[in-house]
Amino acid sequence: MKILPWILICLLLGAVLVTDMHRTDPEHSAKEKCLACHDDVSDPDPSHPVSALGCVSCHLGNAHSLDQDRAHAGMVKNPGDLRFADQTCGRTECHPDIVPRVRASIMATNKGILNTLYYHWETDEQPAAAPRDVPGMLEDANRLSLAEDQFAKMCASCHLWKVREGEGEIGLRGGGCSACHVVKKGRPQDDPTLASFTHSRLSIRIPADNCLRCHNRSARQGLSYQGLFESEGYGTPYVRGAPGTRRLSGGRFYMEGPADVHFEQGLACIDCHTHWELMGDGKEHEYMEEQTEATCEMCHDPEFEPLRSGDDLAESLIDLNRVVPQLESANIAYSPEGAPLYHFRSDGRQAVLFRKLDGKPVPMQSTDLSKPHHTLSGHERLSCQACHSRLMPQCYGCHLEYRQDRFQTDKLSGQKTRGLWKEGRSYMRLRTPILGIDGDEIRPFAPCQVFVSVFDRQGRHQPKDSKTIPAMTTFDPHTTRTASRTCLDCHLDPKAIGLGQGHVYGKKQIRFQPLYESKKSNFGLQIPPEAFVSLNGTQLQTTSRLTRRSFNQEELRAILRPGPCLACHDGYTDPVYADFDKSIGLIKTGNAPDCPVNTVDDSTPAQSTR
Amino acid sequence: MMIKNVWPPSVKISRVLPRAALATGLISICSGLILVFQYRPFDNVFAQVEAITTHIPYGWFFRRIHFLSGEACVVLTLLHVLDHFVRGNDRLVSLAEWARLWLASALAFFLLFTGYVLKGDKEGLLAGTILRNLTASIPLLGQSLGSVFIGSGPDFFFFPYLWHCWLGPLALGFLLRTHIRSWLPRGNFMLIALLLCGLGALFIPMPLALPPEAVVQEAYGPWFFLGIQELLKHFPPLWAGVVLPGVLALIFLSLPLTWGRVQQAARLSLFVALAGYTILTLALYVQRSL
């Protein structure tokens, strides 16, 4: 029996010896042991070669272990995820300045959406809670107001903090840096051990599809830009007696219309929108428009200059882009905030915009802003979009149900909490935009109307808590056409100036007869849904910004005033518009005997028949 | 007296526990001596530890057996102390001896804690930082006391290394010199301990180590620290991390000085505290595994 201990010890040592022979790989000299297993992985892009950066720089994990579990401990599947981006993309050696910008940007904070919801939900009984943003709401899962509850359950799948996982379009949204910069998802090759696989492809040449994953709802700029219009849910026009087959994500039907002229030229979103807008400028803005800097003038009335001294960003971007030609001696344009438009150049004779996605040149002609249609007196405040945005998607009367007797998943916390939000639509149109004032500019407006029906915990409708929010908002619809609206389109179209569809008439006293009598219908609105303003200048629908409003009475009068003249004098260069007050004076004093409009009385206040 | 009767007299656990603790302790010291030649407490400590685990022949085995035997030694020592506490043997030793043994027990836990720090992984780093912050919260002495246990900057691991590999074991030997009659345990204890720890090292992997750069939502300390970690979430560090454990340790230390109802109250409070801490730790383990 005394030999038994020795036998046992020998057996133990033998087992240790055999195990050790199968465990270690002392000959593997790679800097990172990940490559001992994943030995055939494609590069994410030429700037991030696996041979130089390895895996751990981006994906973290344990570079020193050959054991699968130990090697993968702490690993991050998506390095762009904003929760980890400080240690991955944003590490000191790589892009430390960009990650804080992205985290503060409007696409990460969603402050624009939240502020609008706070504004609409604020009542005397329920004052808006202290405003929060997405990071704040991720940190604390308590929803402090109905606005936050609505955001968390309906809107919170489109922000950069969202974890990029799941199926369908929603599964591709979010993911921080990867939301934009992953241009092709990786895939394993025929190797169950994943020793060999195609890595997701990274690029700064971001296709419009990446933007469209989110920007295809609400204002629907992404769709409009391509000439797509999200139509009613009826599936019209029918094909062979059945609903049409043209569907967007979520089963939404669409129809085709004229695309934006820039889309027809093959321009992608990144050809106009600069890195300051897309990745933020480091400031936490309250609304999207504060972060947006792209202007029409940036390209259509540009100023070219040599590369600014110390601006190595332009050259870096050219190198990283790889399809836009090298700069050589050409001058480039800069955005208002100083972002280098490295793809937009001039050699002194010809301005050329090289498309960022494929490098193809698009010759550019500067817009002649001295032509009469751009200099006509009284039109100074018109934004480019007011005339050149030909169509604008308009949703009237979204119906929203808030049911306290049901539960719904909070998209930020992942928890199912009390309160279910359900959205329905009334009717949607693709029509010429309504015009209104934003700051000191005339801009296109579209309705953003919400009818909220609230149900209590017993499922009973609560009319007292329910509310109707008739609102108008302005955005660039991304439906730009070279040909602008005509004079008639504004001066004789009551809908364009915010009165709504109907008929303006009257000689001594201008009157307006709306096409649709909301009061007499059971629509729930006391005003026509398209009416932004009444003839006496009273604003009928709210906006979510103090700087936005409908035309006032004086402005309405000024717009309607030349209406009668347009039947004969329909050109910008017509001499009657050179000094319109003088022309009116001639009519009043009877010095324009041939003019059929001989009883102009512009001192009479406008009145509505409503 | 009720507590005293918890253990049936037929179980000679009192004889097994100290011998098993000594056997596992010796295995831990021997395996530690092998590891210490490959360990430098500077630069990228995590990479070194992983190199020991991955590249150095048998390094993985010695790490595992060192870890398992060390943990076993402390657990067996704790049970040994508990056994004597339940039996009321504190009354049989002098205050000086009791104080030495008390200090040795605390040192055994400190060795386990410094071993946890010396892994150089995320949790080790956090544990070291927490210890330094806790000691720093002690009025007047805190800052200097903290720097005795945990360094700062490039020396972060040097002081735990000094304590774990050299000063701690030597101090432990010194404190136990009169308590342990023979430093060489019986062959059967040694053999069983070696076989069990060896088999454990063959089949039980080390706990996963997160690299220092890893982003974690929540980090956990060693098993005996989990309860304090939870208390620290709800109470000020000085109270949860220093005063409360300190008071309980002092009550334990002063047991030989107490008698009658005072001693009964002291024993009861210690028993309740220990039971509560055990339940809290187990609950946290269950919560973590869910």
Q: Which of A20, A60, A84 comes nearest B211 by C-beta?
A: A60
Record: contact B210-A73, CB cut-off 8 A: yes
Are A66 and B194 in contact (CB < 8 Å)?
A: no
CB contact under 8 A, A74 and B47: no
DSSP string for B234-287: HS-HIIIIIIHHHHHHHHHHTGGG--HHHHHHHHHHHHHHHHHHHHHHHHHHHH
Rounded to 5 degrees, φ, ψ at A351 are -90, 135
Of A1, A24, A138, which to mutate for an interface test with B (greatest number of B Cβ within 10 Å)?
A24
Give contacts of A68 with chain B, Cβ < 8 Å: none
How far apart CA A85 and CA A93 sit, in angstroms, is: 13
The DSSP bridge pattern shows strands A502-505 and A304-305 to be: unpaired
User: Do the beta carbons of residue B74 and residue B112 sit within 8 Å?
Assistant: yes
- Residues in chain A with CB shorter than 8 Å from the CB of B50 are 62, 64-65, 70
One digit per residue, pLDDT tens: chain B, 290 residues? 444 555 556 558 888 999 999 999 999 999 999 999 999 999 899 999 998 998 889 999 999 999 999 999 999 999 999 888 888 777 778 888 889 999 999 999 999 999 999 999 999 999 999 888 888 888 888 888 888 888 888 889 999 999 999 999 999 999 999 898 888 888 889 999 999 999 999 999 988 899 998 888 777 888 888 888 889 889 888 888 889 999 999 998 888 888 889 988 999 999 999 999 999 999 998 888 77
| pLDDT of res. A610 | 43
* Residue A609: predicted pLDDT: 47
Evaluate whether A307 touches A334 at the Cβ level (below 8 Å): no
At residue B161, the pLDDT reads 95
Residues A118-159 pLDDT 10s: 888 876 556 656 789 999 999 999 998 889 999 999 999 899
User: Cβ contact (<8 Å) for B215 and A67?
Assistant: no
DSSP structure class, residue B5: G
Residue range A479-519, pLDDT digits in tens = 999 999 999 999 999 999 999 999 988 877 888 988 887 77
**Interface check B141 vs A, CB under 8 A:** no
B262, with CB counted inside 10 A (0-12, 13-18, 19+), is exposed
Q: Which of residues 173-202 of B touch A (CB under 8 A)?
A: 187, 191, 194-195, 198-199, 201-202
Residue A355 · residue A270 · CB < 8 Å:
no
Residues B209, A62: C-beta atoms closer than 8 Å: yes
B47 touching A (Cβ < 8 Å): yes
Question: Residue A40 — pLDDT band, cuts 50, 70, 90?
Answer: confident
The two tokens of residue A454 are 């609230």
Average pLDDT over residues A559-575: 88
State the nearest Cα–Cα gap between B1 and chain A, in angstroms.
43
Torsions phi, psi of A594, nearest 5? -80, -10
Instruction: Strands of A410-440 (E only): list them.
Output: 416-424, 427-431, 434-438
Angstrom distance (rounded) from CA B156 to CA A94: 27
Rounded mean pLDDT, A192-197: 73
pLDDT cut 90: percent of chain A above it:
53
Cβ atoms A607, A536 nearer than 8 A: yes
List all residues 6 or more positions away from B193 whose beta carbon is below 8 Å from its beta carbon: B20, B23, B24, B27, B69, B72, B185
Q: For residues B81 and B17, what is the distance between their CA atoms, to the nearest angstrom?
A: 9
- Chain B residues close to A61, C-beta within 8 Å: 211, 214
Q: Is the pLDDT of residue A585 over 80?
A: yes
How far apart, in whole angstroms, are the C-alpha atoms of residue A160 and residue A181?
12
Identify the three-state secondary structure at position B140. coil
pLDDT digits 0-9 by tens, A73-114: 999 999 999 999 999 999 999 999 999 999 999 999 999 999
Backbone phi, then psi, for A513, in 5-degree steps? -110, 110
- CA dihedral sign of residues A200, A205, A206, A207: negative
Size of interface A-B (CB pairs under 8 A): 87
DSSP H helices in A515-571: 553-560
Chain-chain contact of B215 with A61 (C-beta, under 8 angstroms): no
Which chain B residues are within 8 Å of A5, Cβ to Cβ?
187, 191
Q: In terms of DSSP bridges, do strands A427-431 and A228-230 run parallel, antiparallel, or are they unpaired?
A: unpaired
Cα–Cα distance between A571 and A411 in angstroms, integer?
54
Spell out which residues of chain A touch residue B206, defining contact as CB-CB under 8 Å.
70
pLDDT in tens, A306-332: 988 877 888 899 999 999 999 888 899
**At residue B160, what are phi and psi to the nearest 5 degrees?**
-60, -35
Q: Confirm if A260 and A479 have CB atoms less than 8 A apart.
A: yes
Q: What is the pLDDT of residue B174?
A: 94
- What stretch of H or E contains A10? helix A4-23
Mutation target to probe the B interface, by most B beta carbons within 10 A, among A34, A59, A62, A72 is A62
**What mean pLDDT is predicted for residues A526-532?**
87
Chain B residue numbers with beta carbons less than 8 Å from the beta carbon of A87 are: 213-215
